[in-house]
Each structure stands twice: as structure tokens, then as C-alpha cells.
Amino acid sequence: MEIERDQHISPPSLLAQTIPIIDLSNLDEELVARLVVQASEEWGIFHVVNHGIPLDLIRRLKEVGTQFFELPETEKKSVAKQDGSKDFEGYTTNLKYVEGEVWTENLFHRIWPPSCINFNYWPKNPPHYREVIEEYTEDTKKLSERILGYLSEGLGLPREALIQGLGGESTEYVMRINNYPPDTKPDLTLGVPEHTDIIGITIIITNEVPGLQIFKDDRWFDVHYIPSAITVNIGDQIMRLSNGKYKNVLHRAIVDKEKQRMSWPVFVDANPDVVIGPLPELITCSNPSKFKPITCKDFKYRRLLKLPIE
């Protein structure tokens, strides 16, 4: 007798190689913590479902981002990244065909702590942009702290260890909204070339158009779009603080030929003055330090200039 198959479920061989999906509403919290730790060790990326961020808030976040990119260029440029500015905040566009260049426009600004926010980079249009982002910030901060709590316990340390390692209440949260309009050029165009995130962890929402890919076991994997899921990436800073236990995922984003793709990553980033090296409690004779301590500021400076970092 032929077994009836659910058409939506991939064969087991494929499922085994799919980025982990973790249900955060599972009442067995120890199991949830174990799955988060395991996914961060093996993949450096995982999806979370039933994550506690209301789906209507995510819908509104997507709406304000989409509406911003639909504005005339002159209006988008009212929050443009300042020429020659050393900081990264503001609107940037790269929608010109230049060999080797990426195909994207994006908006980038800090969302936490309040003392670091520069509202000049927050669009005034659509009018409810600020209200939605402030609401999303609060929920994203809670979600990141929960995940960092599991990761800290996975290191045998108290729940607050990693968030303290990133700077405690002065840890910075940065919103980026990436817009990748359809790209009709025949060859594969990169929206974002391969990289690891230079930060602690990234919490990502995307629209339904696939494009995010990760590198694991010598091959690229598509990160499937799962409605209502949020994707979490491990970045360089958590890799260093955990002395390499957690893996920073190498990833890139490709552009669709027909459809507009968008993503909304929030970067949980160490305070610039924090020293990013393995947490001292982790270092023993049998687990010697794999990374030299360096301030977050210097780490980023060297990474951006592609200078060696130990």
C-alpha cells in the first residue's frame, strides 16, 4: 500500500539538512535552551516560531518599511547617510549597475539605548514609522535577551553573562531595512555579498521572497521563508565571547529576477568600548583562549579595513 505523503513536507534526507526551527512556546524550557545551543554550535543560524512578537506588529513593521522605500528619492534622501560621515546611520542607495557592486538600497539607524538614538535618521514618513519601530524594539530586545540567556547557560554561566559581555544596558540595537528591487540582469546579482555579521546576534524578518543563503559543509543552503518565523544569526562577537563554541554564520543575499525582496535585520551590537574576547570564566588549561581581546571599536575598524585580527 502506498503511503500518503503530505506534499508540504520535504523527504527526510532534506529535512535533516534544514536550518533548525525552534518552537519557543514549548513548555519544556530546558529542551528549548538545548536546541538553541545546539543550533548555534552547528549552524550559527536558526528560525524561531511562537517567539512572542505579535504577528500584527510584524505586519506593521513590514508595512512602514515598504512604504518608506516607495517614497520619492528626494524624500528618502532627507534621512541620507551624511557624505564623509564616519558613522553608518542613514539611507544609502546602490541601485546603479556597476560591475561588482551590490544591488540594494537600505536604511540603517540605532534603536536602543535611547541615549544613542539620532532621530534625524528615522524617517518622518510614513507618519507611524517611529511608533512601530519603538514597539518592535521593545519586543526584539526581550527576544534577544531570552536567546542570549540560553546561550549563556549553554556555556555553564549565569543567564546574564553574554548580555553583560556585550555591554549590559549599553548594548546597542541597530535596525536595518534592506530593499532589493527585482533585478533583471541575467547573471546572479548579489544584494549582499558573503559575510559574517560583525555584531553579537542578528534577529531577521524578511518578506516572502527567498534570497538569504548560508554556507555550511562546503555548500550554500537556501534559507527558506517560513511565515511567522523569525531568523536568528550568530555574529562574530558571540563567537569570540564564547571562545568559538558558537559559530558565526557565513551568509549572503541574492536578488530575485521578478520580485522585490526585503529584509529587516536588527543587530544586537556590543558597546564600542567593550572588550570582545572570550569571557574569562571560560578559559581553562583544557580550553585556552582562541581570540585575543580587542575593543569592539577596534575590532570593527580592523574588520572594515580587512586588517588581520587575532
Cell numbers 512572542 label which residue? 52
CB of 58 closer than 8 Å to CB of 140: no
- Cβ-based nearer residue to Fe ion, 153 or 236: 236
What three-state secondary structure class fits 179?
strand
Question: CB under 5 to 8 A by kind: which of ligand AKG, Fe ion, none does 189 bind?
Answer: none
Question: Rounded to the nearest whole angstrom, what is the least distance from the CB of residue 133 to ligand AKG in the complex?
Answer: 16
Which secondary-structure segment (H or E) carries 28? Answer: none
Q: Which is nearer to ligand AKG, 278 or 299 (CB)?
A: 299
Where do the H-state alpha helices sit in the chain?
12-15, 29-42, 55-69, 73-76, 129-154, 161-166, 236-241, 296-304
Nearer to Fe ion, 33 or 249 (CB): 249
Q: Which of 34, 130, 159, 176 binds ligand AKG (CB under 6 A)?
A: 176
Cβ contact 77:125 at 8 Å: no
Residues that contact ligand AKG, how many (by CB under 6 A):
11
Residue nearer to ligand AKG on the CB measure, 64 or 249: 249
- Could you tell me the smallest distance in angstroms from the CB atom of residue 274 to ligand AKG? 21
Based on CB atoms, which residue is closest to ligand AKG, 88 or 301?
A: 88
Q: Which of 192, 229, 255, 268 binds ligand AKG (CB under 6 A)?
A: 192
Of 255, 261, 210, 205, which is closest to residue 233 (Cα–Cα)?
Answer: 205
Per CB under 6 A, the segment of 54-62, 69-77, 204-212, 277-285 that binds ligand AKG is 204-212
Separation CA 260–CA 207 (nearest Å): 9
Each residue 188-207 as x (binds Fe ion by CB under 5 A) or -, in order, gives ---------x----------
Give the binding-site size for Fe ion (rule: CB under 5 A): 1
- CB count within 10 Å of CB 61 equals 23
Number of Cβ within a 10 Å radius of residue 36:
25
What radius of gyration, in Å, describes the C-alpha atoms of the chain? Answer: 20
Letters for 215-254 (x = contact with ligand AKG by CB under 6 A, - = none) are ------------------------------------x-x-
- The residue length of the chain stands at 310
Q: How far apart are CA 22 and CA 204, in angstroms?
A: 15
Q: Environment class of residue 266 by beta-carbon count within 10 Å: exposed (0-12), middle (13-18) or buried (19+)?
A: buried
Per-residue x/- mask for ligand AKG, residues 249 to 288, rule CB under 6 A?
A: --x-x---------x-x-----------------------
Residue 158 in contact with residue 152, Cβ under 8 Å? yes
Q: How far is the CB of 273 from ligand AKG (least distance, A)?
A: 23
Residue whose C-beta lies closest to Fe ion: 197
Under the binding rule (CB under 6 A), the answer on residue 206 touching ligand AKG is yes
Closest to Fe ion by CB, 183 or 197: 197
| C-alpha 115: how far from chain center | 22
Q: Which residues bind Fe ion (CB under 5 A)?
A: 197
Q: Which residues bind ligand AKG (CB under 6 A)?
A: 176, 178, 192, 197, 204, 206, 212, 251, 253, 263, 265
